A and B are shown apart, each in its own frame.
Chain A
Amino acid sequence: MSKLSIEGVGKLFPARRGAQPTRALTPTSLAIADNDFITILGPSGCGKSTLLRVVAGLETASEGRVLLDGAPVTGPGADRGMVFQSYTLFPWLTIEDNIAFGLRERGAPEAERRDAARRWAERVGLKGFERHYPRQLSGGMQQRTAIARALANDPKILLLDEPFGALDNQTRALMQEMLLGIWERERKTVIFVTHDVEEAIFMASRVVVMTARPGRIKADIAVNLPHPRPYTIKTSADFVALKERLVEEIRAEVVGLAH
């Protein structure tokens, strides 16, 4: 049985003052196995964030349902960790307290929280910054903290919505390697939304391509590149072939949109 099943999930945003209701997502089905790393690739506005937010329970689906371990999702919860495109660290908490936010919510004792925060700070390369406030950190460091914060909570599934979208290319590449490294070690189930083709292939075990708005799934491609994946894999023949294929899929969408 799959870890997460998205069954015919669609989203229609209700009309506002005479405007037409917005169809953000046509009913979509997707089954995600345990330990899968899925990347969702699609043009801007196709409903990627909407789909992720429905899975997180932050948005209710207009039709269909989401099952996690067979149980329907009814609202947000600690079993689905999420990292947002915008910086969402709590500015009044130190890095350490941000990472331990979920543990504290669960009533974990002080020592355990400190321990977990230290460990995760180290894993995402933020050793020595535990006592800093988010505003004292760069964007990349803040997103790393956000990933640590979600993972310290030990969710069943990790949802990432273009977490590296605002970062420069070098930082982005480092972050991809870091996240992939964590996944290779922890084997979490991950859904990662992006519109960067290289990023999608580099980390994924499966790339799902969506069509332009209103989005639906257009292609679902397994990525059989070996693990561990060094950064240099991006220039390998297999990688390049896959990239060309995906770029073609996306281009068709964007061109279709322009006509």
Chain B
Amino acid sequence: MKPLQPVSASARALYGVSFFVLFVAVWSAATFGGFVPPLFLASPLAMVGEGANLLIHHGFVFDIAVTVWRVVGGFILAAAIALPLGVMMGAYKPIEAFFEPFVSFARYLPASAFIPLLILWAGIGETQKLLVIFIGSFFQLVLMIAVAVGGVRRDLVDAAYTLGASDRSLVTRVLLPNAAPEIAEILRMVLGWAWTYVIVAELIGSSSGIGHMITDSQALLNTGQIIFGIIVIGIIGLISDFLFKAANERLFPWARL
């Protein structure tokens, strides 16, 4: 192995899959070998069985859809406001000076700690779930986008000005395209965090969603269902990550050169 030496696409896929295989193998050995009692950890087979049961008899597909909608809805809401605000903060230093201290402070407020308060304010309906996601992702997005936009190379700015760029087109034709791939990467990352908030929001005061199913299963000590729920979240995360990466590569081919 040499540092930073790339691997071929097929070798890469092989390595990636092998770790999953190893993971399931260790899990199987621990459960089928009787090292861990089924009460604490279901075997892979039991998990698959419980999963089929959930999907076929308990309408789990609906729960998945509800959770996805909450994450995506709350996240799009946060991104729609964070994007213009972050860009303005990155481009204009007085605006940054005005918002940055508060946003930095708000960023450390844990979204899950707001859940009791949000239930008080917004009830246990969808609004509350969306707000949790919003609080969890908005401040992170704003700050990271502002840094990405402000991090432009000064000589590119100088070059644009000597080519006759106005202040306005400096923002739209230089700062924005320059930061775009990084902003896409930030969105991908924060979307991943949003998933952790939604499950917590659904664990408390909810009657649908993956998180709700997990709390129900805990009451029944059904570890198979819990693990199935967790794995579904992982798989959805993997898919959204893959879609994001593919979109980024298509949208910003120059960034990978």
Partner-B contacts on A (CB < 8 A): 53, 56-58, 75-78, 80-82, 84, 86, 88, 90-93, 101-102, 104-106, 133, 135-136, 146, 149-150, 153, 159
Contact = CB atoms under 8 A, between A and B. Distances in A.
Contacts of A84: 155, 158-159
Contact of B163 (A81, A91, A133, A135): A81
The 8 closest A-B pairs by CB, nearest first: A78-B164, A76-B161, A135-B257, A102-B163, A88-B159, A82-B162, A133-B254, A92-B177
A133 B256 CA distance: 11
Contacts of A56: 158, 162
A102 B162 CA distance: 9
B163 A58 contact: no
Given A90-B174, A91-B254, A92-B254, A80 B180 contact: no
A150 to B, nearest CB: 7
Interface string B229-257: 00000000000000000000000111101
- Point out which of B153, B158, B165 has the most chain A C-beta atoms below 10 A from its C-beta: B158
Contacts of A149: 163
A102 B160 CA distance: 8
Interface string B152-177: 01011011111111100100011001
A76 B254 contact: no
A173 B165 CA distance: 32
Contacts of B165: 101, 105
A92 B184 CA distance: 14
Given A86-B155, A92-B177, A105 B162 contact: no
A54 B184 CA distance: 37
B169 A105 contact: yes
Nearest to A136: B257
Given A84-B159, A150-B162, 7 more contacts: A76-B161, A76-B162, A78-B163, A82-B159, A93-B177, A104-B173, A159-B162
B230 to A, nearest CB: 39
B178 interface: yes
B155 A90 contact: no
Given A58-B161, A135-B254, A105 B156 contact: no
A102 to B, nearest CB: 4
A146 to B, nearest CB: 8
A58 B158 contact: yes
B163 A153 contact: yes
Nearest to A155: B162
Given A92-B178, A105-B165, A76 B257 contact: no
B203 to A, nearest CB: 43
Contact of A150 (B163, B169, B173, B178): B163
A67 B257 CA distance: 42
Given A84-B155, A136-B257, A92 B180 contact: yes
- Point out which of B165, B166, B252 has the most chain A C-beta atoms below 10 A from its C-beta: B165
A102 B164 contact: yes
Nearest to B163: A102
Given A77-B164, A106-B164, A153-B163, A92 B252 contact: yes
A58 B162 contact: yes
A58 B180 CA distance: 26
A58 B163 CA distance: 12
